[in-house]
Amino acid sequence: MRPDVSRWLRRRTFSAATWCAAELAEAKSARGSTVSVVLPALDEEPTVGTIVGTIRRALVEEAPLVDEVVVVDSGSVDRTAAVAAEAGATVVDTATVLSAHGRVPGKGEALWKGLHATSGDLVVFVDADLVGFDPQFVVGLLGPLLTDPAIGYVKALYDRPLHTPEGIVPSGGGRVTELLARPLLNAWWPELAGFVQPLSGEYAGRRELLERVPFVSGYGVEFGLLVDLAGLAGVDALAQVDVGTRRHSHQSDAALGRMAGQILSTAIARRPGAGRPSSELLQFLRTADGVEAVSWDVGVSERPPMRTVRAAAGEPGPLS
Ligand SMILES: O=c1ccn([C@@H]2O[C@H](COP(=O)(O)OP(=O)(O)O)[C@@H](O)[C@H]2O)c(=O)[nH]1
Ligand SMILES: O=C(O)[C@@H](COP(=O)(O)O)O[C@H]1O[C@H](CO)[C@@H](O)[C@H](O)[C@H]1O
């Protein structure tokens, strides 16, 4: 193992159990900081309300650690928005936030617009499809940020059981992580090889950093943020926190193939000289008389750093 990665792992890997909400609420108050939680949601009616309610009870009412909870609706056709609002979240829609910039599909768009729709100095991102969500996820992500000014971005690490019709595969989750993201990082960004869950959907960062990097529109957003923030602030400004086990609703292998296409596009765009990859991904279906090729566009766009958007609109930047 590279000595720098070994050292990073020792210095920048934490356990969520190190902190409790009450002590971090005091640390936040002493620093005069504020905390926003952003949940990107596309048709997450079954789970979003429980997650929002759990955050509000534990981290707003019982311990004033979180100052706002915002659900960013990506155009859901179910009752995601209503359920989130009933649970106490502020709900915004990707169609109306920064509407002058239009709306492109994908998770990264929701996160980018969630960044604009919130004001916290620290921003926590949590997927809205988690099952058995534990508020200690948020506490653990905020721990390093509220206790070490040298740390600017923290990703969750966890076990990821894969729920299948045949039962639970204890560590079968994170399929795109294991088959694409981890090999890519080790090949082209080996200094980031210490991240156990480079694609984890739960992470937190300082707004002053998050507003200085682009947000990839689709599922490349986590990969893009990790590489771009490391380039901006240095690997030592990044950390990871062990929060235990994460369960969520799983997509099909075919859907994850398209996710992988977006992540590959994101990675190649960050390798000067690698050329512009084709945005087409062909997948195949078995038909009665053979196979059918299905063409997908896995090209991604990039939303510019929020700092440039605010400057263009004459808005003040984040207090920092
Ligand atoms: O266009 C999209 C795609 C996903 N999501 C949300 O982003 C999170 C992670 O997406 P997903 O569960 O599809 O990814 P996975 O966890 O399966 O990799 C979930 O809260 C989704 O509802 C979103 O807001 N807009
Ligand atoms: O880590 C992964 O391989 C993928 C798929 O996870 P599963 O195989 O469904 O457990 O899930 C993550 O990747 C997405 C792209 O970065 C993130 O947006 C998701 O939040 C995250 O769950």
The answer, yes or no, to whether any atom of ligand 2 lies below 6 A from the CB of 175, is yes
The answer to whether residue 77 is domain-embedded is yes
What beta strand segments (E) does the chain contain? 13-15, 35-41, 68-73, 90-93, 122-125, 130-131, 153-159, 162-164, 167-169, 203-206, 215-216, 238-245, 247-248, 280-287, 290-297, 302-303
Question: How many domains is the chain built from?
Answer: 1
8 A C-beta contact, residue 48 and residue 71: yes
Residue 222 lies inside a defined structural domain of this protein: yes
| Count of residues in the chain | 320
Q: What is the pLDDT of residue 320?
A: 45
Q: What are 247's two structure tokens?
A: 């369960």
Distance 19 CA to ligand 1 centre (A): 28
CATH assignment at residue 58: 3.90.550.10
**131 alpha carbon – ligand 2 mean position (Å):** 14
pLDDT of residue 285: 73
Distance CA 244, CA 114 (A): 26
Report yes or no on 225 lying in a domain.
yes
Q: Is the CB of 160 under 6 A from ligand 2?
A: yes
3-state helix, strand, coil in the chain (%, to 5): 40, 25, 35
218 touches ligand 2 (CB under 6 Å): no
At 21 the pLDDT is 98
DSSP state of 102: -
ipTM of the complex: 0.98
What whole-number distance in Å separates Cα of residue 136 and Cα of residue 152? 19
Distance 300 CA to ligand 2 centre (A): 17
Q: Is 207 in the pocket of ligand 1 (CB under 6 A)?
A: no
Q: Is position 312 within any domain? A: no
Answer whether residue 72 is part of any domain.
Answer: yes
Asked, for residue 36, whether it belongs to a domain, the answer is: yes
295 found inside a domain: no
> Where does 239-305 have alpha helices with state H?
253-268
Interstrand relation of 122-125 and 203-206 (parallel, antiparallel or unpaired) = antiparallel
Residue with CA at minimum distance from ligand 2 atom 9: 250
Let me know: does 38 contact 111? Beta carbons within 8 Å: yes
Residue 75 buriedness (CB in 10 A; 0-12 / 13-18 / 19+): middle
**Does 163 sit in the ligand 2 pocket, CB within 6 Å?**
no
Ligand 2 mean position to 249 CA, how many Å? 10
> Does residue 122 lie within any of the structural domains?
yes
The Cα-based distances of 4 to 8, 10, 118, 185, 210 in angstroms read: 6, 10, 35, 15, 24
Determine the structural domain holding residue 245 and report its residue range. 11-279
Exposed / middle / buried, residue 320 (Cβ in 10 Å: 0-12, 13-18, 19+)? exposed
Ligand 1 pocket member 145 (CB < 6 A): no
Give me ligand 1 centre to Cα 40, in Å: 7
Which ligand number lies closest to the CA of residue 128? 1
Q: Which of 144, 134, 107 is nearest to 243 (CA)?
A: 134
Which of ligand 2's atoms lies nearest the C-alpha of 200? Answer: 21
Our answer on whether the CB atom of 136 is closer than 6 Å to any ligand 1 atom is no
pLDDT, tens digit only, all 320 positions of the chain: 788 998 999 999 999 999 999 999 999 999 999 999 999 999 999 999 999 999 999 999 999 999 999 999 999 999 999 999 999 999 999 999 999 999 999 999 999 999 999 999 999 999 999 999 999 999 999 999 999 999 999 999 998 888 888 888 778 899 999 999 999 998 889 999 999 999 999 999 999 999 999 999 999 999 999 999 999 999 999 999 999 989 888 899 999 999 999 999 999 999 977 777 778 778 767 777 777 677 788 888 999 999 999 999 998 876 54
CA 317–ligand 2 middle distance (angstroms): 31
- 18 — phi, psi (to 5°)? -65, -30
